[in-house]
Structure 1
Amino acid sequence: MTNYNCSRVPDTVQTDAGVAGAGVLLSFIITNMLSIFLAAVIILLNLRKSTSAPICRKLLLSFSDQQIITGIGIQSVGLAKMKTMVPYHFFIIWLLSLLSTVTNQATLLALVNDFKRDWVLRWLRQFLMFINLLLGCVVGIFVLRSVMKNLEPRLPIGCVWHVADRGSSSNAALSTAGTIAVIVANVIVFTLATWYLHARTNPKWLKSVQVVGLVALVAMGVGATIRVVLVSQAFNDPPPSVHLTGPSEKDWSFGQLLPLLLLILPVISTVEIIRGELRVTPNKVDDEMSAPLFSDTELQNGGYQQSPLWGKR
Structure 2
Amino acid sequence: MFDQPNCTIIPGDVPSDAGIAGAGVLLASTITAGLALSLSASMVIQEIWRPSDSRTRNLSVIRRKLLNGYSDQQIMVGIGVQSVGLVKSNTLVPYHFFLIWMLALLSMATHNAALLALVQDFKRDWVLRWLRQLLMFANLALSCVYGIYVLQSKVKGLPNTLPIGCVWKLDSTTSSVGGLDYVGTIVTIAGNCVVFGLATWYLQSRRQRFYKAVQIVGLILMSGIAIGATVRSYLLSQAFGNPDVKLSDEGEKQWSFGQLLSLLMLTLPVISAIEIMRGEIAVAPPLQDEDKQALFDTELSGNH
Normalised to the residue count of structure 1, the TM-score between the two structures is 0.88
The 8 Å contact of residues 62 and 276 in structure 2, kept in 1 or not, is answered as: no
Off by >2 Å, runs of 4+ in structure 1:
164-168, 298-308
Please say if 1:214 is aligned against 2:205: no
- Provide the secondary structure at the position in 1 that maps to 2:5: coil
Percentage identity across paired residues of the two chains: 52
Write the deviation string for residues 203-240 of structure 1: whole angstroms up to 9, x where unpaired: 2x11001001111111111111110010000111212x
Partners of 2:254 and 2:267 lie apart in 1 by 22
Larger radius of gyration: 1
The 8 Å contact of residues 119 and 306 in structure 1, kept in 2 or not, is answered as: no
Selected match of 2:255 from 252, 256, 276: 252
Please say if 1:193 is aligned against 2:194: no
* 1:54-203 equivalent positions in 2, closer than 5 A: 54-171=61-178, 173-203=179-209
Q: What RMSD over aligned residues (CA atoms) do the two structures have, in Å? A: 2.2
Shift of 1:299: 6.9
Shifted more, 152-161 versus 267-276: the winner is 267-276
Partners of 1:303 and 1:31 lie apart in 2 by 35
Name the structure 1 match of 2:234. 229
Shift of 1:269: 1.1
Name the structure 2 match of 1:21. 22
Q: Aligned pair in 2 of structure 1 residues 243, 65: CA closer, same or farther (>3 Å)?
A: same
Number of equivalent positions: 292
Q: Aligned pair in 2 of structure 1 residues 170, 163: CA closer, same or farther (>3 Å)?
A: closer
Write the deviation string for residues 158-189 of structure 1: whole angstroms up to 9, x where unpaired: 11111133423242x10110011011011011
Name the structure 2 match of 1:266. 269
Shifted more, 71-80 versus 42-51: the winner is 42-51
Partners of 2:223 and 2:188 lie apart in 1 by 15
Normalised to the residue count of structure 2, the TM-score between the two structures is 0.90
The 8 Å contact of residues 158 and 175 in structure 2, kept in 1 or not, is answered as: no
Partners of 1:108 and 1:304 lie apart in 2 by 18
Partners of 1:71 and 1:258 lie apart in 2 by 17
Partners of 1:293 and 1:249 lie apart in 2 by 43
Name the structure 2 match of 1:6. 7
The 8 Å contact of residues 20 and 89 in structure 1, kept in 2 or not, is answered as: yes
Q: Which runs of 5+ in 2 are unaligned?
A: none
Shift of 1:300: 4.4
Partners of 1:96 and 1:189 lie apart in 2 by 17
* 1:30-41 equivalent positions in 2, closer than 5 A: 30-41=31-42
The 8 Å contact of residues 116 and 305 in structure 1, kept in 2 or not, is answered as: no
Q: Which runs of 5+ in 1 are unaligned?
A: 281-291
